[in-house]
Amino acid sequence: MDRRVVITGIGLVTPLGIGIQENWDALCKGESGISEITRFDTTDFETKIAGEVKDFHPGDFMPAKQARRMDKFICYAVAAARMALEDSGYVVNGSTENRIGVMTGCGLGGLSTMEKYHSALLEKGPKGISPFFIPMLIANMAPGQISILLGAKGPNSAVVTACAAGSHAIGDAYHIIKRGAADAMISGGVESVITPLGVGGFNALKALSTRNDDPKKASRPFDQDRDGFVMAEGGGMLILESLEGALKRDARIYGEIIGYGMSGDGYHMTAPSPDGEGAIRCMQEGLKDAGLKPEDIDYINAHGTSTPLNDANETKAIKAVFADYSYKVPISSTKSMTGHMLGGAGGVETIFTALAITHDVVPPTINLENPDPECDLDYVPDVARKKDVKIAMSNSFGFGGTNATLILKKYEG
């Protein structure tokens, strides 16, 4: 089978807010979700800022008792999935439950739970460990809990590919529907690792911004003064559905997924290949899968992490793939506003890309005040732009040299 796959529902939990409208409004206004860390005492840490999710109440989305048995990243996944399902109007019942599955991505899993129970072990010994410790932290309990709470009994799996995980999950779910193994999938990415070990670990890698005196300007992709990414948390979930199924129930369609590319750098644990070769092949594979030329792309949602290496290398890769057209296609990094949600980034940014197509608006890259000469493309600085967006690309690149590209198209019947 070779079925067409469309997006019929979305759910968002990010530093910009909870839900579609709150996120999209903030994004179009160029608002930042970055602030000082409140989760722990940052006195001894180089980085004291992050993109924390505010005003999130798990009980709004699931029974409080079950929420207490989940790490925060799982709570975010369940909340985003429930919002997406409700947004889609898809009904899970006896006739559909075996044909809707769940595929989610994350990078690190339940790091806060690991820290909590490691401390309990040291203080109280093995008896201090909860029987829910393991189910609270493992990556596949995000799709597992979504399946349990929403009744989705189709294909169920988790992708763990660092910062590309959300995009890989969506791409893999797209292929599952395309080949007929499911009629619909709940898919996206999620992460919550703003913890002492998480921040301390990325500080040790010298990967995080230390612009602590001005949090909202710390994430500045493609700017010459960028000094690292800003860690964030949250998640984005989508309902992917076969086109025939969506049309049969007269569902609203945000867009169609038409291409998926994957590649590996085979170069370094954390650094991208200097020539951008892996990212180049990834974008080329996405275009090939979609049957498109580079000039067909109206907008690129860049990985754009605000690290010196990534932004320059992604720019170089875009130039290699798009040639002269690279100077004409608008590109933005929404991480300038959300921060970097790691394994959650791909899910959230695929949604932002779909909303750009839906509303014909390209989100801005904020804090682009002193452009890097190496980064000389059109990054839509500071102000959202009205534009007819029919086809868009979203890039996600992760540690270990793992890359993902998704291509979305406006559904026009």
Question: Can you give the residue range of the structural domain that contains 181?
Answer: 1-401
What CATH number is associated with residue 30? 3.40.47.10
Whether 382 maps to a domain, the answer reads yes
pLDDT tens track of the chain, all 413 residues? Answer: 799 999 999 999 999 999 999 999 999 999 999 999 999 999 999 999 999 999 999 999 999 999 999 999 999 999 999 999 999 999 999 999 999 999 999 999 999 999 999 999 999 999 999 999 999 999 999 999 999 999 999 999 999 999 999 999 999 999 999 999 999 999 999 999 999 999 999 999 999 999 999 999 999 999 999 999 999 999 999 999 999 999 999 999 999 999 999 999 898 988 888 888 999 999 999 999 999 999 999 999 999 999 999 999 999 999 999 999 999 999 999 999 999 999 999 999 999 999 999 999 999 999 999 999 999 999 999 999 999 999 999 999 999 899 999 999 999 98
pLDDT at 79: 98
- Which residue blocks in 237-330 are alpha helix, DSSP H? 243-248, 277-290, 308-322
Whether 108 maps to a domain, the answer reads yes
By annotation, the residues acting in catalysis are: 163, 303, 340
Contacts for 257 with CB less than 8 Å, ≥ 6 apart: 5, 6, 7, 170, 174, 240, 406, 407, 408, 409
Structure tokens given for 68: 């207490």
Judge whether 397 and 317 are in contact, CB under 8 Å.
no
Q: Which of 224, 217, 271, 207 is nearest to 374 (CA)?
A: 224
**In this structure, is the dihedral angle defined by the CA atoms of residues 214, 218, 220 and 223, taken in order, positive or negative?**
positive
Whether 351 maps to a domain, the answer reads yes
Whether 411 maps to a domain, the answer reads no
Encode burial over 227-258: b for 16+ CB neighbours within 10 A, e otherwise. Answer: ebbbbbbbbbbbbbbbbebbeeeebebbbbbb
Beta-bridged to residue 190, according to DSSP, are 235
pLDDT at 182: 98
Q: How many domains does the chain have?
A: 1
DSSP string, 308-333: HHHHHHHHHHHHHHHGGGGGTS-EE-
pTM (two decimals): 0.97
pLDDT at 290: 98
Rounded distance between C-alpha atoms, residue 20 and residue 31, angstroms: 15
